[in-house]
Structures are given as C-alpha cells and as structure tokens.
A = this chain, B = another copy of it.
Amino acid sequence: MARQERAIRTRAQILTAAASVFGERGYEAATVSEILARAGVTKGALYFHFPSKRALAEGVLAEQLNDIDTPAREYRTQEVIDTGLALAYRVRRDPVISARAWLSLGQEMQRLFGGGVIPAWLAETRRLLEQAKEEGELLPHITPAETAWVVSACWTGVQVYSATLSNGDDLEEKVSLLFAHLLPFIAVPDVLGKLDYRAERAGEVVAEMDRRYAELAAREAAGDTGAVQRLRGRGDAGEPGGSLAAGA
C-alpha cells in the first residue's frame, strides 16, 4: 500500500514536470531529459511510468477531466457557465490543466493526439446545450451543436488572449465578459435573467467542487463505493443543485 501511494506520488510529480515543460516549450521542442531534471525522479522511475515523450504528453492530456465535472444546477445553461468559469479559475492555477490547454492549441495536435482536450470539452458543452434546448432554456434559433462549437472555441480564444496580453491575470473576468456577449443570443429572457456569470463565481464554483471531492474521498475511504456515482456525473437528477444557486 505504501509502495502504491509512492508510485502515485511519483507519477503525479512526473506529470507536473512534464506539464510545465510542455507548457513552456511546446510538444516538439520539449525533451524528456528536461522533464526528468524537473521531476527530480530517477530515469528508471520516469520510463517505468511513461516510456516515451509521446506517452508523457498523452499522460498530461488524459488526466481525468475533473475540471469539466461541474455540479448539477437548475439550468443546464448555468452548468455551461460554471464549467467555463471553473476551468478559467483552474487553468491559471494548476500547471497540468494549463499545459493541457496549451498542448491542445498546437497546429499538429489534431494529427498527433486527436485534438487534445478540445473534442472532449466540445462534446460536454454540446451535451449540456442539447439538454438545455429540450428543457426550453434556449431561444428557438439556437442549434446546440453550432452554439456549443462557438462557446468552446471562444473560451479557448479568450484564454489565449488573456495569457498573451495579461499573463492570464484577467481570465475569469474575461470569461465572464464573453458570457455577457454570448448569452443574450442563446438563452430565453426568463432564464437569462437568472443566470450568474460574474467573474467571482469562478472561485466559488471551484471551492464547491473541491468540497464535493473531499466528501467523495471521505465516503470512499469509509467503504461507500457508490459515493462516486451519487456525487458525480449527471445521474443525480433528483439532487439538482450544488450549494451555489444559479442567479444567487
């Protein structure tokens, strides 16, 4: 057990180092030896977990997308907003999430890695907007697939601009501004008036998610293996709200 924990820690250390090197240099220019030096682990340990540079990049890209697993809300549109805000909060604080975002931007990423995290995030946004449409939240001219594409693409552009022009310091604020521009075209007035896309909500949503994960971990440690199912995913339709009400 102690050995397994050590292996998990080593793997996390390597991924964090890989993320920071990929983030700084890009995939092509990054080298395994720089990742090795930064990780502070033995060469054997690194190659045990990740046999190649490609495997390291895949490891960074494949880390479970906890960052898009936002709590269920009264409105699906609010879940789209919370996803965008929470990711903005995390991308500039977590080096692995940040590197994953940057790695997904490379011109060769589609060929090398199937587009990084872009397809997964697009699919999640689309799923939420399709539900929103069914539930009457969207204006009649909206096609969920098209609008999901625009919302995800714009988020990515906002991240690039914030990083390039402001070192990422205004990312939550700019994602909030993005939603202010897009939502009036998307949501019916009734719903629009209840949506909360303030920049400050970003940190609030992440704190809520962190509490939920802590709760999950505690329940699992206590042997309640069903906790994952009940706390995560959207199966919990009977338990709609997190603690943050939309429009609060």
Contacts and interface: CB of A to CB of B under 8 A. Distances in A.
Contact of A106 (B26, B149, B157): B26
Interface string A141-174: 0000011011011111111111111010000001
A159 B150 CA distance: 11
A158 B151 CA distance: 9
A215 interface: no
Contacts of A110: 163-165, 167
Interface string A113-127: 001101100100000
A240 interface: no
Interface stretch (A60-68, A175-183, A196-204): A175-183
Q: Count the copies.
A: 2
Interface in A58-107: 102, 104-107
Contacts of A158: 150, 153-154, 157
Interface residues of A, number: 48
Of the candidates A116, A154, A164, the one having the most CB atoms from chain B within 10 angstroms of its own CB is A164
Interface string A1-27: 000000000000000000000011111
Contacts of A147: 181
Interface of A: 23-29, 102, 104-110, 115-116, 118-119, 122, 146-147, 149-150, 152-165, 167, 174, 177-178, 180-182, 184-186
8 contacts: A107-B163, A118-B165, A146-B177, A149-B177, A150-B181, A153-B161, A154-B158, A156-B160
